[in-house]
Amino acid sequence: MSRILLSAMLLAATALPVMAESVNVAVAANFTAVAEELAAKFEAESGHEVELSFGATGQLYTQITQAAPYGVFLAADTERPEKAIAEGLAVDGSFFVYAQGRLALYGEGVDADNGKAALKGDFAKIAIADPEAAPYGQAAVETLEALGLWETLEPKLVQGESISQTLQFIESGNAELGFVAASQVLGKDVWIVPAELHQPIEQGAVLLKAGEGNAAAEGLLQFLRSDAAVAVIEGAGYSVP
């Protein structure tokens, strides 16, 4: 028994040339499921420990400005990670786009090719994420404007604080339709909004000052760019530039 334990420990020691460290990661709500999968993979591969905190990008950024102990910031936009660097909260040169989101229209009677018809149909409420705080909400507004439906649909809008809450409003039936992230509704009947109808939804990652020199934080960011991670991210309904 002790021999097995000893050899296991030796194995673990050879597999882990670095000391196992842990990192707190602030993750945009839309990336929840993917981040959990990636974190598990990274933990298994590296032996480091990853603690994920999910929230709206704006709220997470606010926490970061107030010295929240996050080592890595996986945002839903590029604005706030860049701002974090500009304000000296994140490490220069650590910024990169880890995923590009796709906007999807989801709800009653929506399928892959009737999105525009559904938007012109008869419904009481359409849910979007708060366009001021959530890039997916901004993209939804741009899409409605591009389709010339903004004036007609604005009175029917309800806003979720985040993309997760937007989905709640649709799932609970309180809103018939809504714009969410394609990654949230994988395998469901949705209309993927053509990319030319809105600005690209680029999600930026950045190494925060609290994560500088932390092997877990730096390793995680490196792992995010690996082929294995890119495959997971693409499999979850995002594209990787």
Q: Name the residues that contact other proteins, by CB under 8 A.
A: 56, 58-59, 61-62, 124-125, 127, 130, 132-133, 157-161, 165, 168-169, 172-176
**Tokens (6 digits) for 196:** 């030319």
**Tokens (6 digits) for 30:** 């839309």
Alpha-carbon distance 52 to 31, whole Å?
Answer: 11
Closest separation in Å from C-beta 205 to other proteins: 20
Closest separation in Å from C-beta 10 to other proteins: 47
Closest separation in Å from C-beta 23 to other proteins: 24
- Which residue's CB is nearer to other proteins, number 129 or number 210? 129
- Which residue's CB is nearer to other proteins, number 139 or number 224? 139
Residues 6+ apart with CB under 8 A from 97: 78, 202, 203, 204, 205, 241
- Which residue's CB is nearer to other proteins, number 58 or number 219? 58
Closest separation in Å from C-beta 139 to other proteins: 17
Alpha-carbon distance 93 to 197, whole Å?
Answer: 31
- Which residue's CB is nearer to other proteins, number 65 or number 222? 65
- Which residue's CB is nearer to other proteins, number 61 or number 98? 61
Closest separation in Å from C-beta 75 to other proteins: 13
